[in-house]
Structure 1
Amino acid sequence: MTGARLTLTLATPSRAWFDAVEIISLRAEDESGSFGIHVGHADFVTLLTPSVVRWICADGVTRYCAVDGGVLLVSRGTQVSIACREAIPGDSLESLEEAVRRHHAVEDDAARRARVDQLRLHARAVRQMLRYLCPRSGADGADDAATGVMPQ
């Protein structure tokens, strides 16, 4: 493996964040704990836990990416592939932490709006059912359903 380098591909369903980026090493985390990958690593597949993956680029710069779980695959001792539902990359742990906070705030706000919309739909459906089950009749607005008189 003289001169061989690792390449990293990291993708979500909507985007390839990194595609065949040359790296020196990578650290990730699965259920058994943290582990490292270097050139020549045995073929390997594991389920990642929600965590921060970090790697050292060919130029010596360390990069980070928060992942929401996922699958990590090492093949031929030189290719590392990560597939996950969500990924948030960062150049430093501080910038990554801020990006994750912003991402969670946006998700929380969207979930809150969805709950409000769901409650509005539910209330509208209940009102519609009540109108159907308790129709009003007569000019005086008396409710025949309340008096037990059926309209003819």
Structure 2
Amino acid sequence: MSGTPLTLTLATPSQVWFDAVEIVSLRAEDESGSFGIRTGHADFVTLLTPSVVRWTCADGSIHYCAVDGGVLLVSHGTEVSIACREAVPGDSLEGLETGVRGRHASEADAARRARVDQLQLHARAVRQMLRYLRPRAGSDGTAADSVGGMLP
């Protein structure tokens, strides 16, 4: 098995970020702490904590990806697969930090916009209900109830 390269596949529901990328080693983190994977590792499955996954390619370059948790699977001692809800890849820790901060800021902004939209929709609904429930004047000057009948 030592001649067979280790491959990494990392995917979220909306995108496959890395598909069978050849790597030399990988570091990840689960509830028990940080661990490493190299070719020939025993098959296993673990739940990742929100953390940074790091791997080294054959050319010595190191790559990073922030994950919000997820599932890591090692198969046949040569395949590492990670499935998570969100991933932010980066080629440096500094760039990764910037990417994660940007993602959090855009998510917070989207949540604020959604709250404003929800409040505006609620206000429009209340105004419509008030218009419907407001007494209307009949043709003889008496008030009509909201369903069209005359009030005494």
Match of 2:44 in 1: 44
Deviations 1:79-118 (A, max 9, x none): 0000111111000000000011111111111110000000
Change (3 A) 1:25 1:142: farther
TM-score normalised to structure 2 length? 0.89
Match of 1:94 in 2: 94
Distance in 2, matches of 1:42 and 1:134, equals 73
- Give, in angstroms, the shift of residue 73 of structure 1: 0.3
Which consecutive unaligned segments of at least 5 residues does structure 2 have? none
Distance in 2, matches of 1:96 and 1:62, equals 12
- Give, in angstroms, the shift of residue 38 of structure 1: 1.0
Change (3 A) 1:143 1:113: farther
> Secondary structure of the residue that 1:94 maps to in structure 2?
helix
Within 5 Å, give how 1:1-152 maps onto structure 2.
1-138=1-138, 150-151=150-151
- Give, in angstroms, the shift of residue 133 of structure 1: 2.1
8 Å contact from structure 1 (residues 134, 143) kept in 2: no
> Secondary structure of the residue that 1:69 maps to in structure 2?
strand
TM-score normalised to structure 1 length? 0.89
- Give, in angstroms, the shift of residue 68 of structure 1: 1.2
- Give, in angstroms, the shift of residue 135 of structure 1: 3.1
Distance in 2, matches of 1:135 and 1:103, equals 50
Amino acid at match of 2:85: R
Distance in 1, matches of 2:127 and 2:80, equals 56
8 Å contact from structure 1 (residues 53, 67) kept in 2: yes
- Give, in angstroms, the shift of residue 142 of structure 1: 8.6
> Secondary structure of the residue that 1:50 maps to in structure 2?
strand
Amino acid at match of 2:16: A
Deviations 1:23-72 (A, max 9, x none): 11111111111111111111110111111100011111110001111110
Change (3 A) 1:124 1:143: farther
Distance in 2, matches of 1:35 and 1:6, equals 16
Q: How many residues align?
A: 148
8 Å contact from structure 2 (residues 138, 150) kept in 1: no
Amino acid at match of 2:92: S
Percent identity between the two aligned chains: 78
> Secondary structure of the residue that 1:59 maps to in structure 2?
coil
